[in-house]
Amino acid sequence: MAFTKHHLLRIADLTSRDIELILSTARSLKGISFRSVKKVPALRGKTVLNCFFESSTRTRTSFEIAAKRLSADTINFSSGGSSMSKGESVLDTIRNLNAMQPDIVVMRHQSSGLIGRIAAQVPQCHFINAGDGMHEHPTQALLDAMTIQEAKGKIRGLRVVILGDVTHSRVARSNILLLRKLGAHVRVAGPSTLLPPEVDALGVTHTTSVAAATEGADVVMVLRIQQERLGEFAFPSVREYARYYGLSAQHLERAAPHVVVLHPGPVNRGVELSPDVADGSSSLILDQVENGIAVRMASLYLLSGVREPVQ
């Protein structure tokens, strides 16, 4: 089955077959990272340009590693130190970088929807959305799905809780879309000020009680408070948030047997997640990071249109 999408911008654009293709490709590529020589020639001669206009540790590093493991040439552009300080716009910046003939542009920007608008104006290149404002973070949702499938053997029918600052989270938005496409039951939880007004239209159940949310859950996905996107205080204090909305080991006692805990990172220990849970046997946080490489290798490989099988 071929991947027919020109860009990877939104989970909303993908069918469940597209998602399954990316996940199965990621599973087949994962082993490359555990070989003594962690490199295959699949994308030799291709150029991947990482353009991050917002900070990142996991996404940026894993896209660079993923491209290098596939033998692509990788270039990292960051707005700091660029000619944007002289007034050049994001669109002009990308147009100029595109004139250098990259094959794939991986882009993160703080403005929701901007990457899609730029991709529409630079049609020669394949774009991957590495996170745009409060909109979507598709490869995060894909690596989360891969991690859940590895742990649970399936996604269909699982009870998945997304807990925390849902309103400002592109991770939550992409995960809700993906998990519902693959047949999971999604419940969101957090303070009412951090649940989106349109929550009823998302096809999820919702509650402001962490205890009620986690009862019987198979998967708990915890989100950080997006302080950088909060226009005003949505709760009285971080201490109060931790007390009423932080996930603790006591909450997990009410969950389903073998519940697993995910967090996209960065984790604010002791705020949204207690340290014993972050480091405990239920935590799959570092498995998510590991799978990030495989999912990003799969995304680059499928978008590049290379047809030769990976050796």
Residues near ligand CP, by CB under 6 A: 56-59, 131, 140, 264-266
Q: Minimum distance between the CB of residue 257 and ligand CP, rounded to whole angstroms?
A: 28
- The type of residue at 169 is S
Closer to ligand CP by Cβ: residue 40 or 168: 168
Closer to ligand CP by Cβ: residue 79 or 205: 79
Q: Minimum distance between the CB of residue 114 and ligand CP, rounded to whole angstroms?
A: 17
Query: Which residue is listed with tokens 């402001």?
Result: 208
Q: Minimum distance between the CB of residue 287 and ligand CP, rounded to whole angstroms?
A: 13
Taking the C-alpha atoms of residue 40 and residue 33, their distance in angstroms, rounded to an integer, is: 10
Q: Tokens for 304?
A: 């590049």
Q: Quick check: helix, strand or coil at residue 48?
A: strand
Closer to ligand CP by Cβ: residue 207 or 288: 288
Q: Minimum distance between the CB of residue 299 and ligand CP, rounded to whole angstroms?
A: 14
Q: Minimum distance between the CB of residue 303 and ligand CP, rounded to whole angstroms?
A: 19
10-18 contacts at long range (C-beta below 8 A, 24 or more positions apart): 10/116, 10/129, 10/135, 10/136, 10/138, 10/174, 10/177, 11/136, 11/138, 11/141, 11/142, 11/174, 11/177, 11/178, 11/181, 12/136, 12/177, 14/138, 14/178, 14/181, 15/181, 16/181, 16/182
Taking the C-alpha atoms of residue 138 and residue 269, their distance in angstroms, rounded to an integer, is: 25
Q: Minimum distance between the CB of residue 106 and ligand CP, rounded to whole angstroms?
A: 11
Q: Tokens for 97?
A: 């970088």
Q: Minimum distance between the CB of residue 208 and ligand CP, rounded to whole angstroms?
A: 25
**Is there a contact between 27 and 301 (Cβ–Cβ < 8 Å)?**
no
Closer to ligand CP by Cβ: residue 62 or 214: 62
> What phi, psi does 47 have (nearest 5°)?
-120, 125
User: Which of 113, 231, 222 lies closest to 164 in space, CA to CA?
Assistant: 222
Closer to ligand CP by Cβ: residue 59 or 167: 59
Closer to ligand CP by Cβ: residue 75 or 267: 267
Closer to ligand CP by Cβ: residue 98 or 190: 190
Closer to ligand CP by Cβ: residue 56 or 304: 56
Sorted by sequence, the CB contacts under 8 Å of residue 183 that are 6+ apart come out as 155, 156, 157
Ramachandran assignment for 153, one of left (phi > 0), alpha (psi -120 to 50 degrees), beta (any other) = left
Taking the C-alpha atoms of residue 37 and residue 121, their distance in angstroms, rounded to an integer, is: 39
Q: Minimum distance between the CB of residue 209 and ligand CP, rounded to whole angstroms?
A: 26
